[in-house]
């Protein structure tokens, strides 16, 4: 068996109940094209090829990619050895689904690439560290850049917790499946996403600071004008970024976009 590579954050999952739960979270049906990211030894791939019309497995580890077709012999499996962050998602059919057991370091970049693609997946089921899953699905009061940017595009649902001892080697913490269902349209509508996320990034630039301080510093705006903008949105200047709702971010970005107070 291929030894897990610590440098790639590899942890093999063999628990069938957990693997089936990932397929269920991905809403896999017989007519679906599924993009599996990081198939590893193919333990999940075996279930996917049985339930989906086609499985495209993208594996960064060349050795694992080479060996996967020997472990999972199926006509509806295509294995590609490539970095998923540079993979061309536009070659996939519309409404494909993504299922992945990924290391922590990949989560933010992967969700950004999938969300902002011109051909985004309809459903995403990720098995990540439990803490990361909770961050993705956070509610106002505990929001972060990760939760805000992801939830602008997807509705999150926390699914099964997968204990660390079910992996080889066991990671230091438990994992959890998070299901993401694509919204019919992003929360920000037809606004420029770059402007919205620039405002969000500024707001979260220092979680210890109040929103008025973070925004005025991050967007190079005069503090008094920033306070006026917040007041017009019925936002307490002492509120912190993690407390805002998605709609409040959108309304705030819209107000800043139409204000001469900002250099953005």
Q: What is the mean pLDDT of the chain?
A: 91
pLDDT in tens, 118-131: 999 999 999 999 99
Does residue 159 lie in a domain region?
A: yes
Q: Strand, coil or helix: what is 24?
A: helix
Mean pLDDT across the stretch 181-200? 96
Q: Are residues 124 and 246 in the same domain?
A: no
Per-residue pLDDT band at 6 (split at 50, 70, 90): very low
- What pLDDT, on a 0 to 100 scale, did the predictor assign at position 264? 44
Per-residue pLDDT band at 11 (split at 50, 70, 90): low
Is the pLDDT reported for residue 73 higher than 70? Answer: yes
Position with higher pLDDT, 179 vs 237: 179
Is the pLDDT reported for residue 9 higher than 50? Answer: no
- Domain end point (choices 123, 156, 182): 182
Mean pLDDT across the stretch 223-238? 93
Per-residue pLDDT band at 260 (split at 50, 70, 90): low
Q: Are residues 82 and 212 in the same domain?
A: no
pLDDT in tens, 89-101: 999 999 999 999 8
Is the pLDDT reported for residue 189 higher than 80? Answer: yes
Q: Are residues 16 and 128 in the same domain?
A: yes
Q: How far apart are CA 198 and CA 225, in angstroms?
A: 18
Q: Are residues 68 and 116 in the same domain?
A: yes
Q: Are residues 112 and 203 in the same domain?
A: no
Percentage above 70 pLDDT, the chain: 94
Q: Are residues 173 and 198 in the same domain?
A: no
Structure tokens at 252: 């705030």
- What pLDDT, on a 0 to 100 scale, did the predictor assign at position 7? 42
Does residue 188 lie in a domain region?
A: no
Give yes or no for a contact between 81 and 66, defined as CB atoms under 8 angstroms apart: yes
Does residue 264 lie in a domain region?
A: no
Does residue 204 lie in a domain region?
A: yes
The model carries a pTM of 0.92
Q: How far apart are CA 45 and CA 56, in angstroms?
A: 9
Position with higher pLDDT, 61 vs 78: 78
Position with higher pLDDT, 61 vs 7: 61
- What pLDDT, on a 0 to 100 scale, did the predictor assign at position 3? 46
Structural domains in the chain (count): 2
**Nearest to residue 59, comparing CAs of 86, 91, 36?**
36
Domain at 197, CATH number: 1.10.8.100
Per-residue pLDDT band at 171 (split at 50, 70, 90): confident
Does residue 262 lie in a domain region?
A: no
Give yes or no for a contact between 204 and 185, defined as CB atoms under 8 angstroms apart: no
Q: Are residues 46 and 90 in the same domain?
A: yes
92 backbone dihedrals φ, ψ, rounded to 5°: -90, 150
Which domain, by its residues, includes 11? 6-182
């Amino acid at each position: 068996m291929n030894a897990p590579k610590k440098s790639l954050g590899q942890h093999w999952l063999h628990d069938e109940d957990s693997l089936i739960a990932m397929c269920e979270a991905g809403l896999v049906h017989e007519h679906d094209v599924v993009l599996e990211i990081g198939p590893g030894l193919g333990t999940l791939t075996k279930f996917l090829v049985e339930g989906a019309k086609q499985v495209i497995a993208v594996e960064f580890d060349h050795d694992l990619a080479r060996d996967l077709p020997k472990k999972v012999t199926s006509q509806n499996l295509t294995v590609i050895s490539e970095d998923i962050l540079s993979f061309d998602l536009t070659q996939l059919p519309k409404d494909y689904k993504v299922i992945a057991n990924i290391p922590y370091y990949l989560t933010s970049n992967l969700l950004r690439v999938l969300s902002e693609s011109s051909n985004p997946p309809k459903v995403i089921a990720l098995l990540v560290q439990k803490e990361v899953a909770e961050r993705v699905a956070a509610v106002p009061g505990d929001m972060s850049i990760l939760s805000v940017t992801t939830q602008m595009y997807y509705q999150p649902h926390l699914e099964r917790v997968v204990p660390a001892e079910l992996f080889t080697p066991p990671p230091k913490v438990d994992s959890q499946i998070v299901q993401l269902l694509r919204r019919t349209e992003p929360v920000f509508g037809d606004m420029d996403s770059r402007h919205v996320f620039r405002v969000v990034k500024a707001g979260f630039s220092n979680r210890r600071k109040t929103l008025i301080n973070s925004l005025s510093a991050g967007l190079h705006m005069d503090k008094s004008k920033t306070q006026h903008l917040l007041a017009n949105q019925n936002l307490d200047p002492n509120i912190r970024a993690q407390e805002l709702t998605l709609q409040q971010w959108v309304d705030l970005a819209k107000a800043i976009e139409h204000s001469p107070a900002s250099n953005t």
